[in-house]
Amino acid sequence: MSSTAQGARARARMEVTAAIKDEARRQLAQEGAARLSLRAVARTLGMVSSALYRYFPSRDDLLTALIIDAYDSLGASAEAANEQVGDAAPLERWTAVAEAVHVWALEHPHEYALIYGSPVPGYTAPMTTVPAASRVGLLFIAIVRDAHHEGVLADAPELPDDLVAEAGRMAADLAPDLPPATVVALIAAWAELFGLVGFELFGQFNRVVEDRPPFFRHAAIRIAHGVGLR
């Protein structure tokens, strides 16, 4: 087979794969991840199910692809925000990244729900999702690491005795060049930030917080202070 024919087949496969994902995302928005159906996707696209299975052998394979795409899209937005502020102080970089996560979630609510909402019954995400899922967390770690190396990171609160061993394990796994107390604060900060986003996206802030962007920015800065960014 000529390289031209191979290229055409590869492009056609990419186009069909993109169409399948787009239709699956539409189903996510209308039905939710738990009701995603390969047969329904195939029917809407005018494909027989057996043809779709050549692209995604199972619903879980399609879900995994959508999850990776969502994490990568979120990660790309966060990384672009970090690059946009360039050599700014770590606190400014942290805030820019946090706000990028917030904006992305509001613009992609169903994809955010897929990766940070309720687990899909019967589905367990494979390890192939980890690199994409780690992008935002690794970026926050990098910002704090830069502050630590620049000597501008305040000490995190002292850990209680019963957390010292676990803090050491987490630091060894995630950021061995950072103090364990800082790693504990980072993990808590990550959960707090995404908890704020989830509260807004899933309606818990209704009739509680009306002007949300400045509220989120203020909260993100206070969370950064807890990590040691000043």
* pLDDT 10s digits, 16-29: 999 999 999 999 99
Structure-block tokens of residue 64 = 């995994």
CA–CA separation, 204 vs 135, rounded Å? Answer: 27
Low-confidence ranges of the chain (pLDDT < 70): 1-6
d(CA 80, CA 105): 15
The two three-digit tokens of residue 140, written as one number: 């926050």
Inter-residue contact 110 to 46 (CB < 8 Å): no
Q: What is the pLDDT of residue 5?
A: 60
pLDDT in the model for residue 171: 97
HSE-up of residue 55 (Cα within 13 Å, Cβ side): 24
Q: Residue 217: which of 94, 95, 88, 101 has the closest Cα?
A: 95
Which tens digit of pLDDT belongs to each residue from 96-144? 999 999 999 999 999 999 999 989 999 999 999 999 999 999 999 999 9
Amino acid at 210: E
Domains by residue range for the chain, with CATH: 1-57 (1.10.10), 66-227 (1.10.357.10)
Does the predicted TM-score (pTM) go above 0.85? yes
How far is C-alpha 216 from the chain's CA centre? 17
- Tokens representing residue 180 in the block: 């364990």
The string of DSSP codes covering the chain is --HHHHHHHHHHHHHHHHHHHHHHHHHHHHH-GGG--HHHHHHHHT--HHHHTTT-SSHHHHHHHHHHHHHHHHHHHHHHHHHHTTT--HHHHHHHHHHHHHHHHHHSHHHHHHHHSSPPTT----GGGHHHHTHHHHHHHHHHHHHHHHT-BPPPPPPPGGGHHHHHHHHHHH-TTS-HHHHHHHHHHHHHHHHHHHHHHTTTTTTT-SSHHHHHHHHHHHHHHHHTB-
